[in-house]
Structure 1
Amino acid sequence: MSGLQHFWDQGDLITRGVAVLLLIMSVSAWVVILWKTWLLRRVRQDIARAVPAFWSAATLEDGRAQLEAFDREAALRPLLAAAMAAPRASTLESRGHVASQLTRRLRDALHGVLAQLQFGQVLLASIGSTAPFIGLFGTVWGIYHALVAISAAGAITIEKVSGPVGEALVMTAAGLAVAIPAVLAYNVFGKFVGACEAELEGFAHDLREMLAGGAEES
């Protein structure tokens, strides 16, 4: 703690600003990581339980009740609501085939659900790609600031150089410490979202086939 305090006291406005920025980025990344870990875990559990429960129901109303019970994060319910929604009268949508109407509504609902699941991915990608360079900038500025101060003192020795330069290099390590968890989480979450997307697309396809087939028969 004393080393950090010394680094903070020796730094100028820019060095402190870089340190605060890296701290904010780290806190933001870990908030998103913890929240998305909890969210995607619940969504995967919901899909695994809700889809079989829906298809084992006797009627659509019973299937809706099953989704209400198991779909806690509303990943499947918007698809069912979109599939069962009636098109507005006297619109171009109402003039299309039933299958085309279902496809359009299910596609829009699926995009909305995926946007919810992907929320925070851009932040993680941005932090992972920029944090190392922000830390490197802090290092370069810290070294420059330290060398200027040493030069003003008159005498330059290894003892006077190694301390300030070593403290400045901490900024590079801090940038990497912020970026690495964000990049790893982005890749892992991308895999999880992709698996959920495949399950949601399968459910939407089966739902479309059932409702479009029933409409054609009637």
Structure 2
Amino acid sequence: MFLLVALALSSIATWYLIVTKTIANWRMRRHAKSFLAAFWEAPNLDVVAERLNDGMPRDPFSHLAHHGFRAIAQHGSKTGQRMIEAGSQEEFLTRSLRRAIEQDTARLESGLTVLASVGSSAPFIGLFGTVWGVYHALVGIGMSGQSTLDKVAGPVGEALIMTALGLAVAIPAVLAYNFFTRSNRIVLSELDSFAHDLFAFMSTGTRMAEPAAEGKVTPISKRSA
């Protein structure tokens, strides 16, 4: 019974992660597509900054740009008394973009450990349940003294169901893990490419003299006001 409950909980956790991460990835890709289209169509970074001020980042690409703008603003108002402010603007921007990518990587990979654990352990849990069930079935048959095929087939067949249940739990977990891992790899590859472009745009002539408020981006054009 304990093994059956463990498999049931594993199955519930697997399908919960499959549904929630599928919805989250769909929303993330939709927001990312919208942001990237607006980013590349924008005439300058001021327009991008204004767009980011309209709402919090809802995808890795807008989150990366948000961190980039804030890094430039914070470096422009640095006091030189904190270790985080050490280095040139390019170095400060690089560290900020790297931290943003690491945060997005951790966010994308959340739940994958559970899927991997379920996919690797569920077959063995099912197999152990089968062995345990067959053992008790054979002990019961031996004590009853009835070893005919019709007496053996029922208990042993019920025990073998645990192996099937273990596979039924493990297969969706393994497939989902592979799918989300590949999807995350594609997103992170695109994010890394976008980070290089964003760094080039922000480090070649883009300056923001006014410090930005916490969580808010200051448009570049306001530096001359």
Report the TM-score range of the alignment, normalised by the length of the smaller protein.
0.7 to 0.9
| Residue identity in the other structure for 1:170 | I
Q: Quick one: structure 1 residues 212 and 205, their matched pair in 2 at CA, closer, same or farther if it must change by over 3 Å? A: same
**Equivalence for 1:83:** 68
Alignment of 1:54-133 (within 5 A): 54-67=39-52, 73-85=58-70, 86-87=74-75, 88-89=78-79, 90-133=81-124
Q: Quick one: structure 1 residues 27 and 145, their matched pair in 2 at CA, closer, same or farther if it must change by over 3 Å? A: same
What is the percent sequence identity of the aligned residues?
42
1:140 positional shift: 0.3
CA RMSD of aligned residues (A): 2.2
140-149 vs 67-76, greater mean Cα deviation: 67-76
164-173 vs 49-58, greater mean Cα deviation: 49-58
Q: Which runs of 5+ in 2 are unaligned?
A: 210-225
**Equivalence for 2:23:** 38
Distance 1:121 1:199 in 2: 20
Pairs aligned (count): 202
Contact 1:43 1:73 in 2 (8 A): yes
1:64 positional shift: 3.4
**Equivalence for 1:168:** 159
**Equivalence for 2:175:** 184
Q: Quick one: structure 1 residues 68 and 215, their matched pair in 2 at CA, closer, same or farther if it must change by over 3 Å? A: closer
Distance 1:74 1:66 in 2: 14
1:72 positional shift: 6.7
Q: Secondary structure at the residue paired with 2:205?
A: helix
Q: Secondary structure at the residue paired with 2:82?
A: coil
Contact 1:136 1:172 in 2 (8 A): yes
1:55 positional shift: 2.8
**Equivalence for 1:29:** 14
Distance 1:50 1:135 in 2: 46
Per residue, is there more helix in 1 or in 2?
Answer: 1
Q: TM-score, normalised by structure 2?
A: 0.82
